[in-house]
Amino acid sequence: MTGAGTVAAFDRTTRRVSTIERLLADAIALVDGFSTQSPVYDVLPSSLVDADFVPAAELNVRLFFRFWLDGNPPTEEDTRPLVNRAVSLLHDGMPLEEVLGNYRAGVDFLWSQLPTTASPAGRAALAEIGRPLSEYLSLMTARIAMACVEDARRRPSDELERRRGIVDALLAGRDPGDWLDDPTVPVADAFVVAVIRPGDPGPGTLTELRHRIHDLPGAFLRRDIRGWTALIPIDSRADSAAVIENLSTRLVPGIGTGATPLWIGVSPAVTRAAIPESFAEARVVAELGRCLARSEVICRRQDLRLEYAVAVDGSVRKELASVLEPLADQPVLAETLGVFFANECNQNAAARLLFVHRNTITYRLARIAELTGYDPQRPTEAMTLSAARTAQLLEAKAFSA
Q: Is 38 helix (H, G, I), strand (E, B) or coil?
A: coil
Domain with CATH 1.10.10.2840 in the chain: 313-397
What fold, for 313-397? Arc Repressor Mutant, subunit A (1.10.10)
Q: H helices within 52-197, ranges in order? A: 53-70, 76-91, 96-117, 120-126, 130-154, 157-172
Q: Decide: 364 and 333 in contact? Cβ < 8 Å.
A: yes
| 3-154 under CATH 1.10.490, yes or no | yes
Listed as own residue / partner, the contacts of 175-178 with beta carbons closer than 8 Å and 24 or more positions apart are none
- Compute the distance between CA of residue 291 and CA of residue 304 in angstroms, rounded to an integer: 13
Q: Which of 93-97, 120-124, 148-152, 248-252 has the lowest mean pLDDT?
A: 248-252
Q: Categorize the per-residue pLDDT at 349 as very low, low, confident or very high, splitting at 50, 70 and 90.
A: very high
Q: How far apart are CA 223 and CA 260, in angstroms?
A: 19
pLDDT band at 259 (very low <50, low <70, confident <90, very high): very low
Cβ 339 vs Cβ 346: under 8 Å: no
List every span in the chain annotated with CATH 3.30.70.270: 157-310
pLDDT at residue 268 in the model: 92
Give the model confidence (pLDDT) of 186-237 as tens digits: 788 899 999 988 776 555 566 677 777 777 788 888 877 677 898 988 876 5
Ordered DSSP codes for 353-376:
HHTS-HHHHHHHHHHHHHHHS--T
Out of 3.30.360.10, 3.40.718.10, 3.30.70.270, 3.30.390.10, the CATH code matching 157-310 is 3.30.70.270
pLDDT 10s digits, 17-69: 788 888 888 888 877 776 555 565 666 665 565 556 778 888 888 999 899 88
**Sheet with strand 191-198: strands edge to edge:** 220-223, 228-233, 191-198, 262-269, 298-299
Instruction: Provide CB contacts within 8 A for 20, sequence distance 6+.
Output: 65, 68, 69, 125
